[in-house]
A and B are shown apart, each in its own frame.
Chain A
Amino acid sequence: MILSIQHLYYLVGAILVITAGMTLADASHPKRYSSALFWGLYALVFLIGEQLPPIWVGTGVVVMALIAGFGGVGAGRHRARSAEQYLASAKRLGNQLFMPALAIPLVTVIGTLSAKYLSVGGLPLIDPKNTTLVSLGIGCVISFGLACWLTQESPVQGIRESRRLTDALGWALVLPQMLGMLGLVFSDAGVGKAVAYATTSYINMDIRFVAVAVYVVGMALFTVVMGNGFAAFPVMTGGVGVPILVGVYHGDPAVMAAIGMMSGYCGTLLTPMAANFNIVPAALLELPDKNAVIRAQVPTALTLLLANVFLLNFLMFR
């Protein structure tokens, strides 16, 4: 293929190297060296990560976590424009400002849908395994060009703005990947098996409704711990769903899978472990409380989880 996810890693690595360089050159930065080291190490993960021995990468990750954990990642001083300047350019550009912002999702969708048909010299243009992400990358590059042209700014200013937002996010930007890593460590260490064993051997599931509730609530709880419904599904369905709900009570497996997975998503709404959905947006929206998004989701998630117990109980055994 011509454009693969590897190219996106190089692109992100390049952006992070420049971010680290700008941080190092910023004499007014309160945490100049530790922040630059943090972003520099992160850049290496994207640029040469797969060539490095895993032990080195692991050591680097521990160093990054220690820098972030002890407050070593700070934001530089970025000069905001005045309210008049914002308003003047908003007035001058008007609805044109929406165009690059909407171009990102639009190009992503077009790229994803047409990936099958795009090929150059018999090779697919977009990596078939990562069509959405590669299309997103193309969309961002195209709309970056559009935004520079529209605002008459240089690409360097664009990278400066990228660094401003990267600084605002700080280590929260790396947290989703840290948690993804932890999920893999959990599965290597057999945490899933241990949880399934603990739940199935200590709860009496002779009453059908109890078994249904254990499956639904277990999916949510396990997702809260793992941060991901996909990790919970094999454990709970293998431990309770297939042997008990289908095996003993002869329920409809399609209903079980559908409602089970969505019960997992209720857990996703509740957990800081799902950092991409809950913690990163709080940082992106500059909320002082990192758990503000979770707080806004708790009532919806718990009500829906209760609804799921009854939906599964009635729809699975029609």
Chain B
Amino acid sequence: MIHDVNLWPLIGVAVIIAGFVLRFNPMLVVICTAIVTAFAAGFPIDRMLATIGTGFIKTRNLPLIILLPLAVIGLLERHGLRQHAQSWISRIKSATAGRLLLIYLGARQLTAAIGLTSLGGHPQMVRPLLAPMVEGTAEVRYGKLPEHIRHKLRAYCAATDNVGLFFGEDLFVAFGAIVLMTTFLHEAGIDVEPLRVAVWGIPTAICAFVIHAWRLNRLDKMLSRELAQRAPITPAAGAASVAVKGV
């Protein structure tokens, strides 16, 4: 079938893996990989630079979603958005970090499945609202959090947003991935209804929810195991301490 394939560009794959494993600066790793790959494919230097330039221009849409909300989020943070999000959630006594994330996971998956993917996201939802709320609920229960726990909770917030998005959006028929799949299969001579592809994503989506929910449950257990004896604090006193310190 394809016996004259040039295997040299695979060096690029090796360079990027080695670069990330050895923890070099990612920007440097990426540019070196691009240069090595282009050389391995036999590109002269001007074509190499032009390929890099064209690729960079074509992908200008990627940073928009991060850059555009920054001014709004920054202004609100300057006026206490995080502090308010924490004290707001501390009124809900039954909330735990894991349960809050579980609700977020379910909501993110369901809204993404009906095409509302922009309701969540790291700059506009996780940093200003979700992360402070999750930290707030944990502080209500356990008092001031040690740094490594705080960081772990934040990482779980970002992870939960990702899991909810990825295994929700693919159930939406008009989503780009479904179009890509059916178009590709059509060109390979196989015709499939987009709706069938969306529906057959449901079993994996349910598995994703169950697996991640189980891990969020374990997160709550880990919190109570590691923090309960450290700071035995009643919920009311905890709420007060958050309000006073405004952490």
Contact = CB atoms under 8 A, between A and B. Distances in A.
A, B in one complex: yes
Interface of A: 5, 8-9, 11-12, 15-16, 45-46, 49-50, 52-62, 64-66, 68-71, 81, 83-84, 86-91, 93-95, 97-98, 100-101, 104-105, 108-109, 112, 130, 132-133, 135-137, 140, 143-144, 147-148, 150-151, 153, 157-162, 164-166, 169, 171, 173-186, 188-191, 193-195, 197-198, 225, 229-230, 233-234, 237-238, 242, 246, 252-255, 257-259, 261-262, 265, 268-269, 272-273, 275-282, 284-289, 292-293, 295-297, 299-300, 303-304, 307-308, 311, 315
Contact of A59 (B35, B49, B68): B49
B190 to A, nearest CB: 5
A105 B181 contact: no
Contact of A254 (B58, B116, B151, B193): B193
Contacts of B55: 180-185
B66 interface: yes
B90 to A, nearest CB: 13
22 contacts: A55-B46, A58-B48, A60-B53, A68-B25, A69-B24, A86-B79, A90-B246, A101-B129, A105-B120, A109-B119, A133-B65, A161-B75, A176-B62, A177-B56, A181-B58, A182-B55, A194-B10, A257-B192, A259-B203, A261-B170, A284-B127, A303-B211
A101 B9 contact: no
B5 A197 contact: yes
Interface stretch (B138-146, B155-163, B226-234): B155-163
Contacts of A93: 79-80, 84
Interface of B: 2, 5-10, 12-13, 16-17, 20, 24-28, 30-31, 33-35, 37-38, 40-41, 43, 46, 48-85, 87-88, 115-129, 131, 151-152, 154-159, 161-163, 166-167, 170, 176-177, 180-182, 184-185, 188, 190, 192-193, 196-201, 203-205, 207-208, 211-212, 215, 245-246
Main secondary structure of the interface of A (DSSP, over half): helix
B147 to A, nearest CB: 9
A238 to B, nearest CB: 7
A299 to B, nearest CB: 6
B73 A230 contact: no
Contacts of A175: 26-27, 30
B197 A69 contact: no
A97 B52 contact: no
Contact of A189 (B41, B126, B177): B41
A150 B80 CA distance: 13
A112 to B, nearest CB: 7
Given A104-B124, A280-B122, A299 B9 contact: no
Contact of B7 (A133, A171, A197): A197
Nearest to A106: B119
Contacts of B205: 262
Given A179-B30, A195-B13, A296-B155, A161 B118 contact: no
Contacts of B83: 86-87, 90
A140 B61 contact: no
Contact of B177 (A108, A136, A190, A261): A261
B43 to A, nearest CB: 7
Contact of B57 (A45, A68, A88): A45
Contacts, number: 442
A276 to B, nearest CB: 6
A183 B70 CA distance: 27
Given A261-B177, A307-B204, A189 B9 contact: yes
A65 B30 contact: yes
A225 B17 contact: yes
Contact of B34 (A158, A182, A282): A182
Contacts of A88: 80
A314 B199 CA distance: 16
Contacts of A46: 60
Contact of A94 (B8, B84, B126, B212): B84
A105 B121 contact: yes
A300 B129 contact: no
Given A233-B181, A257-B185, A292-B154, 4 more contacts: A98-B81, A133-B64, A277-B162, A285-B131
B74 A165 contact: yes
Contact of A136 (B46, B65, B184): B65
Contacts of B27: 64-65, 68-69, 171, 174-175, 178
Contact of B188 (A166, A230, A242): A242
A105 B65 CA distance: 11
Given A58-B56, A147-B75, A184-B59, A311 B5 contact: no
Contact of B51 (A109, A166, A180, A185): A185
A60 B56 CA distance: 10
Given A101-B129, A104-B69, A307 B207 contact: yes
Nearest to A155: B71
Contacts of B129: 98, 101
A97 B80 contact: yes
